[in-house]
Amino acid sequence: MTELTAEEIVEKIYTAILEHRLAPGTKLGEDRLASIFSASRARVREVLARLANERVVDLIPQRGAFVAKPTVEQANDVFEARRLIEPGIVRRLVERMDTHTLTSLREHQRKEAEARRLDDKRAIVRLSGEFHLLLAELAGNTVLARNMRELSTITCLIIFLYDAPTATSCRADDHANIVAAIAARDAAKAEALMLHHLDDIQQSLKLESSPIDADLEAIFQDL
């Protein structure tokens, strides 16, 4: 197996989190990851340092790296940040609406609908998170897109930690309604729908323990 680049390993770890394969608190041992990805320990350390900088991984002295395990306070902070940022993203999207933007949103809707039709729970939760990242990317602001990647990934960890691991993070029709408002260039409605959507997600959460021992080899086997 060819050694993966740091970026490729980062993407696989992000995907594993977005698909609820990796539970919050899972230990990410350097040796195990190096073996799984056929990478050097130096490369794995680079990846873990980057993920720690993006607050997806916690580096604990003398103990190692662990998938972040957000507290209730941190969860509330994440949703507060999203309520401040995402209405602005959809407003910017309405202002920049063009054929490419609408086509990209419709294609993502198609993928979400297909995942739901197949009852592919991992794809459903991943695509739900990726929808919000796609909005930020299409808005054309790299800082917003980077922030949303971090916030969306941490939200997946929050949902995993405080809800059932296979729960969907978004209602089936919420994204469709937001896209319809954007397509209609109704910024006020799109913003209101987004805020309601985020409130629904946050209010659905409940405290619940999550496992922290995981089979990393199995998790990354088909990614």
Q: Check whether 216 has a pLDDT greater than 50.
A: yes
- 1 falls within a domain: no
167 and 102 in one domain?
yes
Q: What is the share, in percent, of the chain residues with pLDDT greater than 70?
A: 92
137 and 28: one domain? no
Lowest mean pLDDT among 68-77, 98-107, 204-213: 204-213
d(CA 106, CA 185): 15
CA–CA distance, 89 with 205 (Å, rounded to integer): 24
| CATH number of the domain within which 44 lies | 1.10.10.10
Record the pTM: 0.82
User: What is the DSSP track for 78-94?
Assistant: HHHHHHHHHHHHHHHHH
> Are residues 195 and 90 located together in one domain of the fold?
yes
Residue among 101, 73, 221 nearest 158 (CA): 73
Instruction: Looking at the structure, tell me whether residues 35 and 130 fall in a common domain.
Output: no
Average pLDDT over every residue of 31-45: 94
Identity of residue 89: I
| Domain containing residue 18 | 6-68+210-220
- What are the distances in angstroms from CA 136 to CA 90, 111, 133, 156, 222? 8, 18, 5, 17, 28
Strand partners for 64: 60
* Domain identity same for 138 and 57: no
Distance CA 158, CA 113 (A): 24
Please count the structural domains in the chain. 2
Q: Looking at the domain assignment, is residue 123 inside a domain?
A: yes
